[in-house]
Structure 1
Amino acid sequence: MSSLLALTLAASMAAAPPPVLTLEDALSRARKENLDLRAAQARLKQADTASRKAWAGYLPTITASGAIIRNNTSVTAAFPTPDGPVPVTIQPLIQRQAQLEVRQALIAPQLWAAIQGAYKSERVAELNVEQARREILFGVAQAYYGAAAQAQAVTVQERLVELNGARAKDTRVRFEAGTVTRVAQLRAEQDLSRAEQDLIRAQNAAASARLVLATLLAFDDANFTVAPPPEPQVPPKADTDQLIQRSLEARADVAAAKETVELARIGKRQVWFSYLPNLGVSGAARIVNAAALGAPPESWAITFAASWTLWDGGLREANLKEASARIAESTANYRKAELTAREDVQRAQLDLQSALANRLKAEQTVELARESQRLIDVSFKAGMATYLEVADANTALSSAEIGLVSERLQAAVAALRLLRSVGAFEARALDSDLKDDNAVPPHLQALPAEDAPRLEGGATQPTEGAAPQPEQPAQPQPAPQQ
């Protein structure tokens, strides 16, 4: 039994750790497995049939039909001829007939506009799906950064539990030796209990963040860890006018609103074309085994037909008014999309500046907490500080480090929002084939920095104040030993 227990323990210790998921891995999987994105791509394939349906009304239509009729009786008649009467079947007992008909529109102005509008609607659908793709992948990145921040918070809490556990054990020994008071021992136990509760909350928050990410990536479970993501390099003092101009050119929602205006104008043009006449041609070939008297069993005919609706009860006039209202609606939506893009860029810049300022203050708070903890440590060794002051200093340092983790997350998400607002996050070029699912753009594209020096090859040097790579919080020093 002991050998079996040893093998079980060895197997559990040798169990493979959970896989590590990087930001690139998460975005790559989301492009292929995210269910919302797959549904959007399926909608795009549905919309891609609009032009085929429109052309179906203008291309030739071929119809074949046939029938076999069993009559109750056959009818024959004698047809007189110089050589005598000839029997002619008027109605056979089994009657067979077949027909082949071909129709082609020659002049159909309303269909011309319908075909043009179908292509335009497909373009609008492409842009809408591209916008949805960017939003979905932005949500994946945001969830990833949140999970990474929660993992860092768990690390800080684990160190705090370890620190408070060592302090509680040391305080218990000191109390038994009579060198500290009962109050100091109770305070150490309380700090340990509070740190353990905070660790449980942090672990549950991290597990919840991984569950959200797992759902976005279509994982069956959240048995993975996230690697620290790169900090987005965004110049905090980029020229606002340049960013707005890039936003108006690169955002898919703005382009979709613009194309919708043109689609509404095509719809009105289609109504105007309904006032024009239509011309078509049709051909039919028939074969029967009971033709009219003296007619051959095979026949064919070609028909040119024109139609012109002169008055339809005012339907076209009502459609014109409706089309004009749609143009006004789409024009207003396009203007709103432009104003929204401007607002998003400016608000994202303000949010980024606030997040960077808050992160800087959090870094300064951590430095001050570290210095305070060091000075209290020195004072305690010199007998000028109490044990409770040491505990407070260590707790304050851990709280400052957790606050820094949160502010770094806010700064990273603010940078991502700025990239998204200008169409620089997971953005494919709008003049490319947006139906190609294999086209993968860089998930972070560089933004022009104001007066930023250029490196060889066109790259931009990191701007002062841009978000640096995240640093691991320093481990708090344990309580000093007497």
Structure 2
Amino acid sequence: MLGGSGAAPTSAGSGRTAAPAPTPAPTGPEASLALAPVPEPPAITLEEAMQAVLEHSFDLRIAAEQVTRSEIQLRKAWALLLPTISASASYTYNFPSEEVYFVDREQLDQQALLYDSIAQILEQSAMFITDPDERQAAEERAQQLRAVAKKLSDTEPEPVTINPPHVFGANVSVAIPLFNGRAIPLLKNAYEAVDLSRAVLAQQQASLLYATLRTYYGAVAAQALVASARRQLDAAQAHRRTVARQVELKTATRIALQRADLEVVRGEQQLRVAEQAYRNARAALGQLMAREEEFEVVEPGALPPPPPTADVEALEARALAVRPEIVAQSAALEIAERMRTEAWMRYLPSLSLVGSGRYNSNTSGFINDPFTGAVTVRLDWPLWDGGLREANLRETASRIREERLRLAQLEQKIRAEVRGNVADLALKEKAVETAEHGYALARATQADAKRLFELGAATSLDVIDANLAAFFAEVELTRAKLDLAQARLALAYVLGELTPEVAHGGE
């Protein structure tokens, strides 16, 4: 039968211990590999584990993007109250172009003939005027009329382009909202949505920190159970060596040695189980930290602090004041109430001021100035929208009732969590006291059994039973401390005390 690390194989049919066969020493490259030191995995403290979880969690990064998106929505809400400026430009090619002649060659000749005839009449009448000044004035008017007639005769008819082939246009408009009743509640809801998304982020941070703390303390407890299993194996191996010496001295039977060997085998199995549990606990913690490399955990040094007060009502009030879920649900209720205000605001008109400036390159027609502008005061008042506003009012009223019920349900749940965790914490504290007392008794019994066995006043079975009792008492104490730590963590979680500051050493 094979024993533990302190046991050697026995030869069949005798009580003598057979010497193990020597193992040849490795040579060549194998020797250098065998002698190369294996690096110890780094130790991760509790604070480092929490910081790693906060930095690498996909859930937190998604929640942070939701906060960013809500802040962007806030900027959109402001757009309902701020002026808007728009500009546009256009180019138009017209085919065919349209031209209009308002005067032709015949009309110009007739007008020239008319002016020339009037000038001739003035010249003839000037011959009969006796006053030299009046005669000169008449002659000058006649000359002016002949000049106009000559100009009309020399003028070629020009068309007026109504629709030119190439037209360039531009427009700039500024719209200033003077009154929009819906914009105010929507803007406030946008701010509230930012607070809501931040509260959701805080709630996810608290949940991850709680899971990290529970997992880390579980890994520390698993590490302690490995140490307990090693001590149990050491005690079993030491007892086996003592029994082996007594067998050689003919003061103990071979049955006692076989029983001691069996306890060594059990101790080795318990150690393997404890080590596997420790590996599983570290793997769960590594998954939270997004870490695949091997690492060790470090004993935090002390259990989580107890609650600040034993007054259950004060703890309930504290939890209801700071829990992120309450903050988020309260924000959701305020958003629902403002949405009802926004539904009422749909009955009011909206008033805006619009200023626009236009440019058009087509100035050959009836428009002389290419630049024009206009200022408009616009009032929009929806008188009937098919019953949509009434439906929105009923919908928002139902939404408010729903959010109030959710808030009341959440408050009831948190109060129950606080009361349950306070009661559970008291039970776990009593369990630690009982486990410490039991472990002290088991250790004393173990020491007495070992001493009495060496004196011949106790049997090997007494020592084995005492060792097992001490091991199970130590395991029970470790688990009781883990339960107490997790109970305090659970109470800290329901009180809303698990914030990112805890991961950085804050109180």
Which residue does 2:269 correspond to in 1? 197
1:245 aligns with 2:245: no
8 A Cα contact 2:356 2:374, kept in partner: yes
Structure 2 CA distance, aligned partners of 1:267 and 1:68?
Answer: 45
Which residue does 1:122 correspond to in 2? 194
Which residue does 1:464 correspond to in 2? none
Structure 1 CA distance, aligned partners of 2:214 and 2:410?
Answer: 23
8 A Cα contact 1:426 1:443, kept in partner: no
* 1:310-459 matches, cutoff 5 A: 310-426=383-499, 445=507
Equivalent residue of 1:424, what SS? coil
The one-letter amino acid paired with 2:462 is E
Structure 1 CA distance, aligned partners of 2:504 and 2:51?
Answer: 11
Equivalent residue of 2:36, what SS? helix
1:11 aligns with 2:36: yes
Which residue does 1:67 correspond to in 2? 90
Which of 80, 85, 90 pairs up with 2:162?
90
The CA deviation at 1:442 is 6.5
8 A Cα contact 2:220 2:298, kept in partner: yes
Flag the 1:79–1:113 CA change in 2: closer, same or farther, 3 A.
Answer: farther
Structure 2 CA distance, aligned partners of 1:10 and 1:216?
Answer: 35
The one-letter amino acid paired with 2:199 is L
The CA deviation at 1:384 is 3.0
Structure 2 CA distance, aligned partners of 1:20 and 1:441?
Answer: 17
**1:88-132 superposed Cα distances (whole Å, 9 cap, x missing partner):** 333333332222222222111011211111111211222221122
Which residue does 1:454 correspond to in 2? none
Identity of paired residues, percent? 31
Structure 2 CA distance, aligned partners of 1:207 and 1:192?
Answer: 22
* Between 299-308 and 161-170, the greater mean CA deviation after superposition: 161-170
Structure 2 CA distance, aligned partners of 1:398 and 1:239?
Answer: 38
Equivalent residue of 1:96, what SS? strand
Which residue does 2:50 correspond to in 1? 27
Flag the 1:235–1:298 CA change in 2: closer, same or farther, 3 A.
Answer: closer
8 A Cα contact 1:168 1:188, kept in partner: yes
Equivalent residue of 2:384, what SS? coil
Structure 2 CA distance, aligned partners of 1:312 and 1:391?
Answer: 88
1:159 aligns with 2:182: no
Flag the 1:335–1:123 CA change in 2: closer, same or farther, 3 A.
Answer: same
Structure 2 CA distance, aligned partners of 1:441 and 1:387?
Answer: 50
* Between 173-182 and 379-388, the greater mean CA deviation after superposition: 173-182
**1:432-465 superposed Cα distances (whole Å, 9 cap, x missing partner):** xxxxxxx7787674xxxxxxxxxxxxxxxxxxxx
The one-letter amino acid paired with 1:347 is G
The one-letter amino acid paired with 1:368 is L
The one-letter amino acid paired with 2:174 is V
Structure 1 CA distance, aligned partners of 2:504 and 2:319?
Answer: 17
The CA deviation at 1:426 is 2.2
* 1:261-300 matches, cutoff 5 A: 261-290=333-362, 293-295=365-367, 296-300=369-373
The CA deviation at 1:156 is 0.9
Flag the 1:246–1:182 CA change in 2: closer, same or farther, 3 A.
Answer: same
The one-letter amino acid paired with 2:254 is R
8 A Cα contact 1:21 1:227, kept in partner: no
Structure 2 CA distance, aligned partners of 1:71 and 1:225?
Answer: 81
8 A Cα contact 2:48 2:503, kept in partner: no
Which structure has more helix as a fraction of its residues?
A: 2
8 A Cα contact 2:189 2:338, kept in partner: yes
Structure 2 CA distance, aligned partners of 1:229 and 1:383?
Answer: 41
The one-letter amino acid paired with 2:475 is I
Structure 1 CA distance, aligned partners of 2:264 and 2:101?
Answer: 119
* Between 134-143 and 165-174, the greater mean CA deviation after superposition: 165-174
8 A Cα contact 2:425 2:487, kept in partner: yes
Which residue does 1:108 correspond to in 2? 180
Equivalent residue of 2:159, what SS? strand
Equivalent residue of 1:48, what SS? helix
Structure 2 CA distance, aligned partners of 1:400 and 1:5?
Answer: 45
Q: How many positions carry a matched residue from both structures?
A: 432
Flag the 1:237–1:93 CA change in 2: closer, same or farther, 3 A.
Answer: closer
The CA deviation at 1:173 is 4.9
The one-letter amino acid paired with 1:267 is M
Structure 2 CA distance, aligned partners of 1:382 and 1:321?
Answer: 90
1:308 aligns with 2:381: yes
Where does the alignment leave 5 or more consecutive residues of structure 2 unmatched? 1-25, 109-151
The one-letter amino acid paired with 2:265 is S
Equivalent residue of 1:197, what SS? helix
Equivalent residue of 1:425, what SS? coil
The CA deviation at 1:181 is 2.3
Structure 1 CA distance, aligned partners of 2:366 and 2:50?
Answer: 78
Structure 2 CA distance, aligned partners of 1:79 and 1:284?
Answer: 33
Greater radius of gyration (CA): 2
Q: Normalised by the size of structure 1, how large is the TM-score? A: 0.83
* Between 70-79 and 249-258, the greater mean CA deviation after superposition: 70-79
Structure 1 CA distance, aligned partners of 2:388 and 2:435?
Answer: 67
Which residue does 2:124 correspond to in 1? none
Which of 248, 254, 259 pairs up with 2:331?
259
The CA deviation at 1:174 is 4.1
* Between 85-94 and 168-177, the greater mean CA deviation after superposition: 168-177
Flag the 1:338–1:372 CA change in 2: closer, same or farther, 3 A.
Answer: same
Equivalent residue of 1:347, what SS? helix
Which residue does 2:252 correspond to in 1? 180
The CA deviation at 1:170 is 4.3
Which residue does 1:456 correspond to in 2? none
* Between 346-355 and 330-339, the greater mean CA deviation after superposition: 330-339
Structure 2 CA distance, aligned partners of 1:79 and 1:101?
Answer: 36
Where does the alignment leave 5 or more consecutive residues of structure 1 unmatched? 428-438, 446-482
Equivalent residue of 1:117, what SS? helix
8 A Cα contact 1:22 1:229, kept in partner: no
**1:263-298 superposed Cα distances (whole Å, 9 cap, x missing partner):** 211110000011001111222222222358311332
